């Protein structure tokens, strides 16, 4: 909805941006909202008793953040962040084809409208998205296991 409003709604008020700018700003607004909620859930997952234990041990605020809050938040929000990256940033860019941005799906639309070979082009595009998603899933699962000791299943 944000992308549609930026591309089709703002020209009614005299503000005209390119389709790439509307796509980028719309994805940034949408990503910012989702990432804020993911981070909020991570901060709320830190129990007050853990912070009180850090105070009892005599840790400063910076030490509490470094040794208590950040490791806990990183481990708890990593699966949601990885899923967000795959769904929104890899698959969400295909929305740009609806407003004229020539990305993978947009190129398939352009080529198939010239050759009328819709099935072949979109089959190849679907396979490319599956491969991109698989590579991103495996890479993020391995990164999560290595960096945060997250037990992420690949499949």
Per-residue pLDDT, 103: 83
Any idea what the CATH number is for the domain that residue 16 is in? 1.10.3720.10
Q: Which residues contact 42 (CB under 8 A, 6 or more apart)?
A: 72, 73, 76, 77
Torsion of CA 140, 144, 147, 148, to 10 degrees: 150
Query: φ and ψ at 59, to 5 degrees?
Result: -75, 140
In 10 A of CB 125, how many CB atoms?
20
Tokens 């503000």 sit on residue: 15
SS3 assignment, position 132: helix
In-domain check, residue 9: yes
> Which pair of structure tokens corresponds to residue 137?
């899933």
Q: Within a domain: residue 138?
A: yes
Per-residue pLDDT at 141? 87
Whether 154 is covered by a domain: the verdict is: no
Q: Is residue 130 part of a domain?
A: yes
Q: What is the pLDDT of residue 146?
A: 86
Residue 25 lies in a domain: yes
| Residue range of the domain that includes 105 | 2-147
Does residue 152 lie within any of the structural domains?
Answer: no
Per-residue pLDDT of the chain (155 residues; tens, 9 = 90+): 888 899 999 999 999 999 889 988 998 998 999 999 999 999 999 999 999 999 999 999 999 999 999 988 988 899 899 989 888 877 777 888 778 778 888 888 889 999 999 999 999 999 999 998 899 989 988 888 888 876 766 66
The answer to whether residue 112 sits within a structural domain is: yes
Please count the structural domains in the chain. Answer: 1
Domain for residue 155, yes or no? no
């Amino acid at each position: 909805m944000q992308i549609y409003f930026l591309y089709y709604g703002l020209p009614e008020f005299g503000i005209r941006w390119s389709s790439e700018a509307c796509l980028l700003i719309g994805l940034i607004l949408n990503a910012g909202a989702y990432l804020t909620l993911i981070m909020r859930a991570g901060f709320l997952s830190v129990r007050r008793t853990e912070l009180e234990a850090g105070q009892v041990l005599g840790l400063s605020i910076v030490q509490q953040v470094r040794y208590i809050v950040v490791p806990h938040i990183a481990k708890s929000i990593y699966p949601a962040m990885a899923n967000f990256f795959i769904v929104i940033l890899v698959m969400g860019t295909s929305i740009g084809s609806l407003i004229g941005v020539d990305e993978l799906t947009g190129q398939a639309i352009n080529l198939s409208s010239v050759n009328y070979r819709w099935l072949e082009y979109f089959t190849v595009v679907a396979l490319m998205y599956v491969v991109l998603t698989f590579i991103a899933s495996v890479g993020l699962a391995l990164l999560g296991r290595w960096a945060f000791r997250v037990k992420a299943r690949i499949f």
